[in-house]
Amino acid sequence: MSDLSRAAAVDRVERLLDTIDEDPMPVPVREVWVYGDVALGVDPVDRLDVYLTKDLLFGKDGDREAEFRDSLGVEGVGKTVSAEWAERFPEYVRANHSGHAAPEKCLAAHLLDEGEPVHLEVCNSGFESNVTQRLKGARMRENYEQILDPRGACLWVDGQRSEETVEKLRAGDLVFPTLAGALEMLGMDDAEAEEAADAVRRYRERQEGTTVRGDVV
C-alpha cells in the first residue's frame, strides 16, 4: 500500500471504521479522526494519518491477568486491555518493551495490515486537546518533530459515523491553511511556525511502513 489515490485512502479509512463498529476493541474507542494529507485532499496520499481517542480500563478484569500471563506471556491483560477482547483475538495482543499489554499496539495490530504506510496516534485525550498539549511540549523542548498536525477531521464519535464529513473527505472539500499557517493560529510567530512545519515534514518523510504512538495525557 503506497501512493494511494485519495478515494482508495478514504476507502481504507472506512474499512477501519467498519472494524471498530463491528468488532470488540482492546480498549473502548470514543473518537476517530484523520489528519494531514488525507484531510487536505492530497492525491495521491503517501501516508495515512489516523487518530483514535480511547478510554482507560482501570483494571476492569484484572482478576484474569494470570490466565493470560500463562497463555500469552503478556502482563496486564484485563487491566490495560480487555480480557474479553484478548480471548477472542489473541493474535492481536501486543506488549510494550516491559512485557505489558500496550493498548496502542493492540489497536494497531487489530486495525491495520502489517507494513501498510499508516500512522496511528492513540490517546485518552481528544484530538484538539492533544494538539495543544503536544505543541506546548514541543515548544518547551524545542523538538518540533513531535508536533501533531492540527489539520484534522472527526469521522466517528461514540459509534456514530459522520457520513457528511466522510463525503467531504472523499471529494477533497475540506479547507485548511498550510501547516505553518495552522501553527500560527495556535500561537507561533511566522519564523517559528515555518521552522516547526519544516521539521514536521522532514520527520514524516522519514517514516516507513506502519507506525503507532500512544499517549496518556
pLDDT in tens, 164-190: 999 999 999 999 999 999 999 999 999
pLDDT score of 31: 98
Number of domains into which the chain is organized: 1
Pair 47, 118: CB distance under 8 Å: yes
pTM for this predicted structure = 0.94
Confidence of residue 57 (pLDDT cuts 50, 70, 90): confident
Per-residue pLDDT, averaged over 46-69, amounts to 87
State the pLDDT at residue 1: 44
More confident residue, 32 or 1: 32
Contacts for 203 with CB less than 8 Å, ≥ 6 apart: 145
Cis peptide before 117 (omega within 30 of 0): no
pLDDT > 70: what percent of the chain? 97
**C-alpha cell belonging to residue 18:** 467498519
User: What is the extent of the structural domain holding 10?
Assistant: 6-56+113-215
Domain for residue 73, yes or no?
no
Residue 135 lies in a domain: yes
Tell me, yes or no, whether 34 lies in a domain. Answer: yes
Sequence-separated (6 or more) residues with CB below 8 Å from residue 145: 138, 199, 200, 202, 203
Stretch 187-194: mean pLDDT: 96
Examine residue 143 and state whether it is found in any structural domain, yes or no.
yes
Is residue 196 assigned to a domain?
A: yes
Per-residue confidence band for 10, with pLDDT thresholds at 50, 70 and 90: very high
- Which residues is 142 bridged to in the sheet? none
Q: Where are the alpha helices (DSSP H) in 46-189?
A: 65-72, 83-88, 103-111, 127-141, 163-171, 179-185
Residue 44 has pLDDT above 90, yes or no: yes
Is 78 within a domain? Answer: no
Q: How far apart are CA 190 and CA 72, in angstroms?
A: 51
DSSP one-letter string for 148-195: PP--EEEEEETTEE-HHHHHHHHHT------HHHHHHHTT--HHHHHH
Is residue 105 situated within a structural domain? no
pLDDT per residue as tens digits for the range 66-119: 999 999 999 999 999 999 999 999 999 999 999 999 999 999 999 999 889 999
81 lies in some domain: no
Beta strands 29-35 and 152-157 are antiparallel
What mean pLDDT comes out for the span 128-148? 95
The yes-or-no verdict on residue 62 having pLDDT over 80 is: no
Confidence tier at 3 by pLDDT (50, 70, 90): confident
Do 26 and 103 form a contact (C-beta atoms < 8 A)?
yes
2 has pLDDT over 70: no
